[in-house]
Amino acid sequence: MKYCMDCQFFGGNLTAEDREFLVKLLRSYHAELMLNSWVKLGQIKKPSGKSVDPDKAKAVKILKRSRDLCKKEHVRIFALEQGCVFWQPCDL
């Protein structure tokens, strides 16, 4: 299943590579987990707890950089924020 951007109010600066990477992660992890645990709490270590997971660290970097103003709600949001319909299945 492919995903496309479908939120006319979100202007984030995600590149095609960023979107592809996040879509790959969304196949394994929920957006809520990525935002609440990885970005907001900084929990990016591997399950063993001994080293940083490079995919999680990259996702955090992308999401923090792409945080932007939602022009409709007048709040700053992340690309995967609940309530912002950013990732929608496409018929591509």
Mean pLDDT of all residues in 64-92? 66
pTM of the model: 0.73
Domain region containing 80: 3-89
- Is residue 69 helix, strand or coil? strand
Instruction: Convert the pLDDT of each residue in 35-53 to its tens digit.
Output: 889 999 999 999 888 899 9
Instruction: Tally helices (H) and strands (E) across the chain.
Output: 3, 4
Number of domains forming the structure of the chain: 1
